[in-house]
Structure 1
Amino acid sequence: MHLQFQDTLVQAVFLNRLNRFVLECELPTGTKEKVHLPDPGRLKDLLVSGGPIWLQESTDPKRKTKWSAVMTYDPSADIYVSLNTHYPNRLVHEALKQERLEELNEWQLERAEFKVGRSRFDFLLTHKQNDQKLLLEVKSVTMVEDGIGKFPDSVTARGARHVEELTHLQEDGRYQTAVMFIAQRTDLHGITSAPEIDPLFARVMEDADSKGVRFFGRSCMVTPERISLTGPLPVYTKKD
């Protein structure tokens, strides 16, 4: 399962981060451009001044920024890392439509973007043998430490609220619930929370696991041509 980059990516140089969603980069022509960053995380180990970054040009004349960041390169791991938090949802959506996720082989996609109460969850699935419903939320992972992916890499009150609501829905029996972490890199062998960054998310994740919310993990292979969903990864909901 993969997404092909529609246009040839342009390799630029990252200069600095102007705010959560805007970077300043230098194009091969030497011109400096403001670039949209579709990932609000800190990315402090990935966005290094003077380092390479791959951009895609937008064809939307209404866009404030002409370019979008697609990926960067982590020299310590010798891999490309995606910088677009929308890719995991698109990959999972396609994999669900084609029933390519063995960890969810008992379920089939009913619809994307399903609203329950005040929250909108990424996917609603239906069990193939009965009328059970499963809510699936997808989270993007880019940070790694000692071979373990960490989520989040910045405080996410929205993420914690989503997991808390999944826990309540699981407890009252209305839905089965699950979270799938998609690591947009290949150099890791598991995923866990980051209590040193967001202790609330770590607590609600551990509580969710104890109350029946399921957690899945997947990694991705990233190249200048495409991003591909690869194999399953274990998710550790608490520290030993």
Structure 2
Amino acid sequence: MTKVKINYSSLMVPSYFVERINRFMIKCKLKESGEKVEAHLPDSGRLKELLIEGQEVYLLPNDNPKRKTRFSAVCVQSADSRGWVSINSQVPNRIAQLAFSSNILLSYKGWEYVRAEYTKGHSRWDHLLKRDEEQMVVEVKGVTLVNDKKIGFFPDAVTSRGTKHVLELIEINKEKNWKASLLFVAQREDIEEIRPATDIDPVFSEALKSAAKSGVKIVGCRCKVSLDGIQLLDEIPIHI
């Protein structure tokens, strides 16, 4: 597979997680100075299994005076301390765009990348692809939750927005010359397959089952996260 990678800044600094202040802000203690700082958390997911007191988090400093915090969270060490997990919900979308532009995901072979953020129906979709007379909208979802059997689950909290997207994809897929797809991007290397988190959001899980039965393309892939960056590794199975 052609290398698709987003490099991390060398300016990142290590810290230890202290507490979550709200959906988009955490408090950390800088490893070098011991200073407690607030950092922007670019992921509104629950992240309960990742944001553990004392866990190592890498932060990126920013000098934008308009920002409320001096730092943004980039990645956190996994609970077993064997690897790193991306905690930026925008990264899966960027990885997907690079993969589509390079045409390296086998499940999308033959589809040409057109653009990001395409509005159709009642939603704005992450990506638009085309193949001959057909077009395809793709919605991307990041996965960070994993169990001890290396099974990744989505979502990690109830997502009415996610369910709405899946139901709309079903309708788009019925239209002439239109296809629809959902791409799950695991933001950690230790996920070997992805399943819907039925115990967390049964409504989303049922919607996903309906989408699979109706022909919506559902694809999974995983990434390796290190302190150098996040790199797309391969496609992994989706079990619904």
Pair in the same fold by TM > 0.5? yes
Residue equivalent to 1:65 = 69
Distance in 1 (CA, whole Å) between partners of 2:64 and 2:10 is 14
The answer to whether the Cα contact below 8 Å between 2:133 and 2:177 also exists between their aligned partners in 1 is no
Distance in 1 (CA, whole Å) between partners of 2:101 and 2:22 is 36
Q: Offset at 1:142?
A: 0.1
The answer to whether the Cα contact below 8 Å between 2:50 and 2:79 also exists between their aligned partners in 1 is no
Q: Offset at 1:229?
A: 0.7
1:134 to 130, 133, 136: 136
| 5+ residue gaps, structure 1 | none
Letter in 2 for 1:142: T
Letter in 2 for 1:232: E
Are 2:25 and 1:22 equivalent residues in the alignment?
yes
Distance in 1 (CA, whole Å) between partners of 2:239 and 2:63 is 41
Q: Offset at 1:58?
A: 1.5
Letter in 1 for 2:126: D
Residue equivalent to 1:156 = 159
Q: Offset at 1:117?
A: 2.0
Are 2:153 and 1:147 equivalent residues in the alignment?
no
Residue equivalent to 2:191 = 188
Residue equivalent to 1:115 = 119
The answer to whether the Cα contact below 8 Å between 2:49 and 2:79 also exists between their aligned partners in 1 is no
Q: Give the root-mean-square deviation of aligned CA atoms.
A: 1.1
Q: Taking structure 2 as the reference length, what is the TM-score of the superposition?
A: 0.95
Q: How does 1:75-224 map to 2 (within 5 A)?
A: 75-76=79-80, 78-127=82-131, 130-145=132-147, 146-224=149-227
Are 2:49 and 1:45 equivalent residues in the alignment?
yes
Q: Which moved more, 1:172-181 or 1:109-118?
A: 172-181
Q: Which moved more, 1:168-177 or 1:15-24?
A: 168-177
The alignment partner of 1:70 has SS state of: strand
**Do the aligned partners of residues 224 and 198 (structure 1) sit closer, same or farther apart at CA in structure 2, a change above 3 Å counting?**
same
Q: Taking structure 1 as the reference length, what is the TM-score of the superposition?
A: 0.95
Q: Which moved more, 1:196-205 or 1:164-173?
A: 164-173
Q: Which moved more, 1:106-115 or 1:68-77?
A: 68-77
Q: Offset at 1:171?
A: 2.1
* Aligned-pair identity (%): 37
Q: How does 1:216-235 map to 2 (within 5 A)?
A: 216-235=219-238
Question: Runs of at least 4 residues of structure 1 off by over 4 A?
Answer: none
| Superposed CA offset, 1:205-224 (max 9, x none) | 00000001011011010001
Q: Offset at 1:66?
A: 1.2
| Superposed CA offset, 1:137-160 (max 9, x none) | 110000002211100001111111
Letter in 1 for 2:182: V
Distance in 1 (CA, whole Å) between partners of 2:87 and 2:207 is 26
| Superposed CA offset, 1:17-53 (max 9, x none) | 0111110111121211111111111111111011111
